Amino acid sequence: MRKLENKVAVVTGGNSGIGLATAILFAENGAKVAITGCDQRTLDIAVKEIGNDAIGIISDVSDIKNIEAQFRKVTDSFGKIDVLVVNAGVYIAGTVADFTEEQFDQATDINFKGVFFTVQKALPYLNNGASVVLTSSSVSNMGVAGVSVYSATKAAVYSLAKAFSSELADRNIRVNILSPGPVETPIMKRDGATEEQLEAIRAFAGGTTLIGRMAQPEEIAEGFLYLASDDSKYMLGGELLLDGGMRIK
Ligand code: NAD
């Protein structure tokens, strides 16, 4: 059975990694999918890959002015929105001793402020009964060295999901988070790692899990489908943890 037949779904950062795998799975399940991202070339490639008349919208979540326009474009094309996956994010690592103010602002503007205003600007365009899923991370409540700011932005997102659920319950809008562990996506390559360094990252990151490997984006997309669909209709303000046992290792 197709779980999102004729539903309208928006996936921010849907031109890469976890977001792209999710957009593809949603389209296979019958959704009309709109993806957003910062890069026109990868958006165009992704839209073709997703199929089912998907659309791509250029939009930077750290520039709040254009977020509302992005939702207006979606509803002009497809009608009001049933599923919103707030997935766009950046991974910026650095210790408390070394992290710069510029890095701090970039991480928080995209991963925290961008998430808050994406949901706020979506509100007039969401159908009652919609499902909103925010992307957090397994590290959000761990103490992993070198990722304090990233982890804090992802903890903030969980906090938002709980309060948003309370505020939006009268519209039957559910807000939940999905927390992936290490997933093999282009996020690993964004600071120019060589193939040798990538292999070392894979081995290290896989070793932080009980299962002994990184996840593939498609394994995480299955979780987004669960949270987006009526399969999770009794879940509000909750966390779906897909981390290969990282938190309990
Ligand atoms: P990715 O780099 O492949 O994808 C990130 C997406 O976010 C891209 O589509 C990018 O265009 C978009 N994006 C980044 N900055 C943006 C901005 N300012 N405006 C609009 N879009 C922007 O990485 P991914 O691994 O697929 O990450 C997706 C989400 O999952 C992120 O929120 C990330 O923090 C989270 N996550 C990833 C992992 C992992 O190990 N890969 C683990 C836990 C959580």
Closest C-alpha to ligand 1, atom 6: 13
Separation of 187 CA from ligand 1 center, angstroms? 6
Q: Does residue 177 surpass a pLDDT of 80?
A: yes
Structure tokens that stand for 225 in this block: 């489908």
Name the amino acid, one letter, at 244: G
pLDDT (mean) for 65-71: 94
The closest of 52, 13, 6 to 133, measured between CA atoms, is: 13
In a domain, 209, yes or no: no
Gap from CA of 170 to ligand 1 centroid (Å): 31
Residue 243 lies inside a defined structural domain of this protein:
yes
pLDDT at 119: 98
Q: Give the chain's mean pLDDT.
A: 97
For ligand 1, the distance from its centroid to the CA atom of residue 59, given in whole angstroms, is 14
Kindly state whether residue 180 falls inside one of the protein's structural domains. Answer: yes
Compute the average pLDDT of residues 147-175. 98
Average pLDDT over residues 179-207: 90
Is the Cα torsion angle 223, 225, 228, 232 positive or negative in sign? negative
Report CA 83 to chain centroid distance, whole Å.
12
For 185, counting Cβ atoms within 10 Å of its Cβ (0-12 exposed, 13-18 middle, 19+ buried), the class is buried
Render pLDDT for 12-57 as a digit per residue (tens, 0 to 9).
Answer: 999 999 999 999 999 999 999 999 999 999 999 999 999 999 999 9
Output the domain CATH number for residue 241.
3.40.50.720
pLDDT at residue 188 is higher than 90: no
Atom of ligand 1 nearest to the CA of 214: 40
Nearest CA to ligand 1 atom 10: 13
- Whether the pTM exceeds 0.75: the reply is yes
Contact assessment for residue 187 and residue 17, using Cβ atoms and an 8 Å cutoff: yes
pLDDT at 179: 98
For 214-242, what is each residue's pLDDT tens digit? 999 999 999 999 999 999 999 999 999 99
pLDDT at 209 over 90: yes
Structural domain count, the chain:
1
| C-beta atoms surrounding 214 within 10 Å | 23
Phi first, then psi, for residue 224 (nearest 5°) are -65, -35
Domain containing residue 174: 8-184+216-248
